[in-house]
Amino acid sequence: MKRVGLAVLLVLGMLALAEGRLKAGWIYVGPIGDYGWTHAHDVGRRAAAKAFPWLQTLYVESVPEGQVGSYIDQMVRQGVKVIFATSFGYMDGVLEAAKRYPNVIFAHASGFKRAPNVATYMADFYQVYYLNGLMAGALTKTGKVGYVGAFPIPEVKRHINAFALGVRAVNPKAKVLVRWIYEWYSPAAAKEATEALIAEGADVFAFTEDSPTVVQVAAGHKLPSFAHYSPMLKFAPDYVVSGQLVDWGVIYKDFLAKVYAGLYTPKNLEDVDYWWLLPQKAVALGADRGVPVNPKFIPALRAKKIHHPVFGEISVYDLVMKLKAMMSDVELAFDPFQGPIKDRKGNLRVPAGVRPTQAELESLEWAVQGVEGPWPNEPK
């Protein structure tokens, strides 16, 4: 009898403990082993789980975008109070579910629609792409830089534009050749697109795709490339120059801490939009963590000198480091999209001295000069 009483007490105690914990759930569009987008979100989830003892996390992977609603239902039934939906395509499904569950907090990555209980968040790379572009411009010998893009949507277009602006700042005659693969994750498509770009004469590569394929293919031809999303230096130690790295963990930790502290409630998220860049350390420049530029390429980047309107005669390496420092400061003394910028059809898109707003950057459809290749939905 005593034993049963003890067991009941124990169970009650555990329930009480569980009661005090915040349950957060993540919905992933791909497998966590994709080594790209979903993998990075899961690294962020684990960082948050490790940081906060009061946090209990769970996740579902490979959730098709149209079916997000039923997965949310399931999570809510399991007692989840905060749901992170990590794909752009979940947007409308999340907003519908948010109406069904007004007491659950939702956060949607890379979207732009909010509600009292739906916040949005994004760790954006455009600054880092510009820095990588500077280096690519210095390293290309053929004057053709290859870019393998996932989908022609504003986010990817913004990144290609920032990259191309960097390339042309160093190498005004260089071109950025773009090929689309119409997949977020497709190693075979990324490989063949890279091979096609090599056949066209491109000799430096950057990309948006969730695997290290482009890096591996370029290295196979002894050509340099820039990593995307995860540290990829180990896949081609002699050929990865740098790249863009993400840390979703800083956003997840900030958001969950504010939920736990009662600052974020299911009633006040209408204006909560994380647009975190270099200053917030949500993104970083690097071939690997702590390796902003592969040391093997530093001599070549130092040797390439250009005339910069602000800094005068300067090596590309020093320029990258200076601009990186400026863009890592909350004052943002430099922005890649500061006007004047013309699109490739000759229209003035950003007037001199003006910087596009976040909303403008998030809906950008035009291509800057120097970008070559198909560009669906290009405005006239």
Min dist CB 235 to another protein, Å, is: 5
In the region spanning residues 308 to 367, those forming contacts with another protein, defined by CB under 8 A, are none
Q: Is 148 within 8 Å of 342 (Cβ atoms)?
A: no
Does the footprint of another protein cover residue 199 (CB under 8 A)? yes
Nearer to another protein, 212 or 249 (CB): 212
Beta-ladder partners of 106: 83, 118
Min dist CB 206 to another protein, Å, is: 16
Nearer to another protein, 187 or 249 (CB): 187
Give me 129's structure tokens. Answer: 């792409």
Nearer to another protein, 149 or 266 (CB): 149
Q: Is 34 within 8 Å of 210 (Cβ atoms)?
A: yes
Q: Which of 88, 126, 129, 235 binds another protein (CB under 8 A)?
A: 235
Q: Which of 22, 92, 95, 192 binds another protein (CB under 8 A)?
A: 192
Q: Is 27 within 8 Å of 219 (Cβ atoms)?
A: no
Q: Is 345 left (phi over 0), alpha (psi -120 to 50) or beta?
A: alpha
Nearer to another protein, 124 or 288 (CB): 288
> Alpha-carbon distance 57 to 188, whole Å?
33
Give me 3's structure tokens. Answer: 């034993």
Q: Which of 33, 66, 102, 379 binds another protein (CB under 8 A)?
A: 33
Q: Is 24 within 8 Å of 76 (Cβ atoms)?
A: no
Give me 182's structure tokens. Answer: 């119409």
Q: Is 203 within 8 Å of 173 (Cβ atoms)?
A: no
Nearer to another protein, 191 or 304 (CB): 191
- Determine the interface stretch with another protein among 100-108, 212-220, 307-315, 341-349 (rule: CB under 8 A): 212-220
Does the footprint of another protein cover residue 100 (CB under 8 A)? no
Q: Is 229 within 8 Å of 287 (Cβ atoms)?
A: no
Nearer to another protein, 91 or 177 (CB): 177
The CB-side HSE value for 141 (13 A sphere, CA atoms) comes to 5
- Determine the interface stretch with another protein among 137-145, 194-202, 311-319, 348-356 (rule: CB under 8 A): 194-202
Strands (E), the chain: 22-27, 55-60, 82-85, 105-109, 118-123, 144-149, 175-180, 204-207, 225-229, 240-246, 273-276, 283-285, 305-308, 312-315, 341-342, 348-350, 371-372
Q: Which of 211, 242, 244, 369 binds another protein (CB under 8 A)?
A: 211
Min dist CB 239 to another protein, Å, is: 12
Does the footprint of another protein cover residue 244 (CB under 8 A)? no
Does the footprint of another protein cover residue 39 (CB under 8 A)? yes
Does the footprint of another protein cover residue 4 (CB under 8 A)? no
Query: Residue type for 310, please?
Result: V
Does the footprint of another protein cover residue 196 (CB under 8 A)? yes
- Determine the interface stretch with another protein among 18-26, 119-127, 130-138, 209-217 (rule: CB under 8 A): 209-217
Does the footprint of another protein cover residue 372 (CB under 8 A)? yes
Residues 6+ away with beta carbon under 8 Å from 310: none
Q: Which of 81, 144, 191, 324 binds another protein (CB under 8 A)?
A: 191
Interaction site with another protein (CB under 8 A):
31-35, 39, 179-182, 185-188, 191-193, 195-197, 199-200, 211-213, 216, 220, 230, 234-235, 372-374
